[in-house]
Structure formats: structure tokens, C-alpha cells
Amino acid sequence: MFTAAEPHRSGPPPAHDCRDDHRAEPGAFAALDLGTNNCRLLIGASSGQGFRVLDSFSRIVRLGEGLQTSGMLSEPAMERTLGALHACAARLARRPVRGIRAIATEACRRAGNGVAFLSRVQAETGLAFNIISTREEAELALESCGPLLREPGRRALLFDIGGGSTELAWVRLQHGQPPELIGYDSLPLGVVTLAERFGHHGFDPDGYGEMVEEVAGRLAAFERIHCIGHEIRQGGVRLLGTSGTVTTLAGVALNLTRYRRPMVDGVRLSAEAADAALALLRGLGRAGLVAHPCVGAERADFVLPGCAIFEGIRGVWPVDEVIVADRGLREGMLLRMMRQGSRARRPGRHRV
């Protein structure tokens, strides 16, 4: 049903196997990713071709809650997010780092008060965020996932199912060369946006089907430009997914009693295993999703919208297997900073 790769030899060490080592590391860097649903911090020190994780933090903050209808970040969402960012600032204060980068994505891109909120964040926490473009979001995802694309192939399609959007990266693979981004797109559909629009209807077969159809329709323009379906029929195209949705599907397929990142990152999930995991999750209902060890109460409302996005992608671009990546923007930022070395800026009350 699935095969396990050896992801830790060529790529970064596990982002969630935090050693919580509080020694000062002069070569350490920190990456902060503020998304529509999550706030994530990763601190690492260079080690070989990747990095050694020193500390990590992840909290569901639902920053984009209500954004779909109001166009603004709500006060409760901003307060939740500030609480998480204060926790991140405290961790950074305890551990000197050589450089730090903090980015915000779709929620702050879309919200009318996104820039004002980040100014408030800087005033209250000292953390200075940049709102990155959708292209850079795709580039950072590719930076972190590139080591999982080293096996032979001509092309790869990387997708990242986020809270407020889904990023697509169409990639050229050449032996001995890093993967090259040749096309990208950002769909204004994520697990939070679909969950808010469809609500309980998304748990019904009809509502779920409507979500899948909407995603497939949104992919048509990208398909027309790049003829990905034709490339798949020619062979040598690999599909790689990085998101909580994809890692959850892998955890379900692996029958994990609790989520374990080292067992998931780099796994190749067959179409049959993915279909079985999708059917299981769809059949659980909300109460069953809350109780499932790979889902839980905080994520129960977002799993089926993510599954619908996953099904929409696979329906338009069917492949035999999906490579699963439990790595993303934070890892991409750390690898970039470590490569740039002395050009990385010092942390503080400035943009980095």
C-alpha cells in the first residue's frame, strides 16, 4: 500500500523531534511561519547537508477565522495569535540565534487589516514579519521538499494545502541539479476557507462532492498552461504533497495510534492506500474525527475540506503514488539562511 523512504539522510532532520537543547548556538537560525490556521516556530543549527533541530513550537491559532466573510482579521483571532507569538518571542529570548526570519502568508495577504496587525505584533513582541508573495511561498516549499525529489524523474508537481490557500509548484527535475520551479499558482481555497463556507454540509456526501468539484474547476487554468495531464501520460512525473491533510492521510494509512513524524515524512502513499484512508476519514463523521489519534478536536473541522482539495488535485492529475512531506516553509527558510550564512541579519526589531 505504501513504501517508506529514508528522508533523514538527505534532508533536514525532523522538525517535530525537538531536543529542547538550551545551550547557546552561535550558528543557530530561527524561522517563524504565521499562516491562516497555524503559528509555527523552528530553531535549528547547520549540520551536514541539513540542520539539527534545537527547538520547535506549533499552535493552532485560527488567525483567518471569519476572514472569508468579513475581509478582516477578527479581534479574538488576533488575540489568540498574539498569545502564540509571545510564546515564540520568549523561546527566542532564551536561545541566542544568528539570524531570524518571520513570514506571514494568506490571511495577512488577504485581510484589510493584515499589515496593521503585523505592526501591532512588532510593537508588542518585537517580532518583525514580512508578508511574502505566493511565488515565494511555492519556492520555500520546494526548497524544503527538494531532497525528497532526488530519485529519477522529469517533472514533479508539488502541492501545499494551507488554511487560506493551496499552493502549486510545477517543477523540472534534472539529474545532479536542484529542482527548478517552472510554474506556480495559488488557489484561494484552503481548509479554513472551505470549512467556513460549507460548514456541516461539508460532512455530507453532496457537500463534500461540491468541494471536490470546485477545486477541480480551479485547477483547469493551470492545467491548460502547463499540460500536466499530458506529461503524466508520458511518464516520469511525481506528485508530492506537504500539508497537515497529506500527513494525516499517511498516518491513517500507516495505522498509527499516534502521529509520528519520522514514520510519515518521505513515505510514498499509493493511490489505493490514499483512497482507503480518504474513505475511512469520510466515514467517521465529526465525532469520529475528534476521537481519531491522527486528527483530534482542534483539526476535526478542517480534515474533510483538506481531503476534498487532495481529491480534486488527484482527480485532475492522477498518478500511482504521492510522496508525503512533513516539512514546509520553516524548513525552507532555515535552509536558505544557512546557505546565505553571513548575509543573514541579526534578530531584533527590524524586518528580516
Write 286-293 long-range contacts (CB < 8 A, 24+). Answer: 286/203, 292/252, 293/256, 293/257, 293/258, 293/259
Q: In Å, how far are 81, 122, 190 from 115, measured between CA atoms?
A: 14, 11, 21
C-alpha atoms less than 13 angstroms from C-alpha of 303 in its C-beta half-sphere? 31
The H or E element that residue 262 is part of is: helix 261-264
Return the amino acid letter for 208.
Y
- 348 falls in which pLDDT band (50, 70, 90)? very low
Domains of the chain: 2-134+330-343 (3.30.420.40), 149-329 (3.30.420.150)
- The pLDDT of residue 150 is 85
Q: Is the pLDDT of residue 329 over 80?
A: yes
- Mean pLDDT, the chain, rounded, equals 88
The band of 220, judged by pLDDT with boundaries at 50, 70 and 90, is very high
Query: How sure is the predictor about 27, in pLDDT bands with cuts at 50, 70 and 90?
Result: confident
Q: What are the φ/ψ torsions at residue 168 (nearest 5 degrees)?
A: -120, 140
- Cα-Cα end-to-end distance for the chain: 44
**Chain Cα centroid distance, residue 35:** 9
Residue of 327, 286, 271 lying closest to 145 (CA atoms): 327
Asked if residue 22 has pLDDT above 80, the reply is no
Q: How far apart are CA 322 and CA 230, in angstroms?
A: 18
